[in-house]
Amino acid sequence: MPLDSALNSLGFAKPPAQTRVVVAMSGGVDSSVVAAQLAEEGYDVVGVTLQLYDHGAALAKKGACCAGRDIHDARRVAEEMGFPHYVLDYENTFREAVIDEFADSYLAGATPVPCIRCNERVKFKDLLETAKDLDADCMATGHYIQRQMGDTKAELHSAADGNRDQSYFLFSTTQDQLDYLRFPLGHLKSKDETRALATKYGLSVADKPDSQDICFVPDGNYAKLIEKLRPGSAEAGDIVDVDGNVLGTHKGVIHYTVGQRRGLGIGGLADPLYVVKLDVDKKHVIVGPRDMLATRRVPIREINWLGDEKFSDMKERNIMVRVRSTRPPTDAILRPISETEAEVELMVAEQGVSPGQACVFYDPDSTRVLGGGWIWRGA
């Protein structure tokens, strides 16, 4: 009989009742289904929810997570399924590790992705350590991504449902973290299957809407949040073309992102203009034609590599990359510079590649996620 037949559904050679699993519960339907499913299978489930920001602000916003109503919903699911649930106050940690960097990056003219930093620095770091402190064998989440055992180690793979795949936001998951994490929803073909499971378990959150936007931005107005966090940051300046000619004025660089066309207030020109660069020091919003947004060479740093070979030993490798969460993977060549830096050459130029976004690496011959890094301006 194969050895694998002795393993439970989480990959441990012991009965579910003797396997403790901490489930990171945001209060949404995904993590609630994970917790309910594992509890029904007989695992020793412990639910943990992180309070990441002010209750009052969150209660007024629909589609947020990790505060207010969602904490109540997570606790209710735990009561319904009969397992313990704890709420941990991580407001200070979240602000220091995620919100402050978001503000500073935005002020520097970048387009940050705070959800990645939250996974990297809070959920898969501090919460994971808490799970180990609770003597859990593993930690499970409701993310749509797959963990598969390869020939030598656990591998990260895209979700079966391409529309729900969250690999872009989880590229910085380290090998040590991947060894400990479990993603029970990654194999599902659609969100409808998740909601059907929620209905099967009789969960009160079965029809709860998905979370939207960035959780700590109550109304989706990033610039308003930045002004609150960094008073005086919205200083007026000039909108200029690539030759330095002044075309108009703006109320603050923080109101603009690379690739933006609407809201520039410089209509009446023969050809449409786009934001092609932000010069924070000069307080300039630089605009140009659409073709100036096209980029083929992308400098990457803070690389997390999940491939089998040593990263710095490679000269170059053909891969697929995603340079924005809303774009499909595209053919590229990865050229390492050091253990944590590389240059990516895109086979077809992409428009609007922006510093602060992630560049995620994929195996062109499978669903495997090979890691990724952060796009920056280069030296």
Residue 90 pairs in a beta bridge with none
Q: Determine what percent of the chain falls in helix, strand and coil, rounding each to the nearest 5.
A: 30, 25, 45
- Considering 65, 66, 138, 215, which one is annotated as catalytic? 215
Domain 234-288 in CATH 2.30.30.280: yes
Domain ranges within the chain, ordered by starting residue: 16-201, 234-288, 294-375
Q: Per-residue pLDDT averaged across 54-80, rounded? A: 69
**Does the annotation count 118 as an active-site position?**
yes
Q: What is the pLDDT of residue 277?
A: 87
What Rg, from alpha-carbon coordinates, does the chain have? 22
Q: What is the pLDDT of residue 59?
A: 42
Q: What is the pLDDT of residue 2?
A: 42
Q: What is the pLDDT of residue 234?
A: 84
Burial class (CB in 10 A: 0-12, 13-18, 19+), 104: middle
User: Strands 237-241, 246-250: parallel, antiparallel or unpaired by DSSP?
Assistant: antiparallel
Q: Per-residue pLDDT averaged across 341-352, rounded? A: 94
Q: Is the pLDDT of residue 58 over 60?
A: no
Which fold does the domain 294-375 belong to in CATH?
Elongation Factor Tu (Ef-tu); domain 3 (2.40.30)
Q: Per-residue pLDDT averaged across 60-65, rounded? A: 49
Lowest mean pLDDT among 8-17, 127-136, 269-278, 368-377: 269-278
Instruction: Identify the CATH homologous superfamily for domain 16-201.
Output: HUPs (3.40.50.620)
Annotated binding site for ATP: 24-31, 50, 142
User: Strands 284-288, 145-149: parallel, antiparallel or unpaired by DSSP?
Assistant: unpaired
Q: Per-residue pLDDT averaged across 243-259, rounded? A: 89
CA torsion 365-368-373-378 (nearest 10°) is 0
Please give the biggest Cα pair distance in the chain: 76
Q: Which residue has the higher pLDDT, 171 or 234?
A: 171
Nearest to 31, CA basis, from 43, 48, 11, 18: 48
Annotated binding site: 24-31, 50, 142
Q: Per-residue pLDDT averaged across 358-362, rounded? A: 97
- Considering 66, 118, 138, 359, which one is annotated as catalytic? 118
For 312-346, the pLDDT digits (tens) are: 999 999 999 999 888 899 999 999 999 999 999 99
Residue 198 pairs in a beta bridge with none
Q: What is the pLDDT of residue 233?
A: 79
**Does the annotation count 138 as an active-site position?**
no
Q: What is the pLDDT of residue 230?
A: 85
Q: pTM of this prediction? A: 0.89
Q: What is the pLDDT of residue 309?
A: 93
Q: Is the pLDDT of residue 269 over 70?
A: yes
Q: Which residue has the higher pLDDT, 5 or 7?
A: 7
Q: Per-residue pLDDT averaged across 36-43, rounded? A: 97
Q: Is the pLDDT of residue 222 over 90?
A: no
Q: Where are the alpha helices (DSSP H) in 134-233?
A: 175-180, 191-200, 222-229
Residue 123 pairs in a beta bridge with none
pLDDT > 70 fraction of the chain, expressed in percent and rounded: 93
For 123-181, the pLDDT digits (tens) are: 999 999 999 999 999 999 999 999 999 999 999 999 999 999 999 999 999 999 999 99
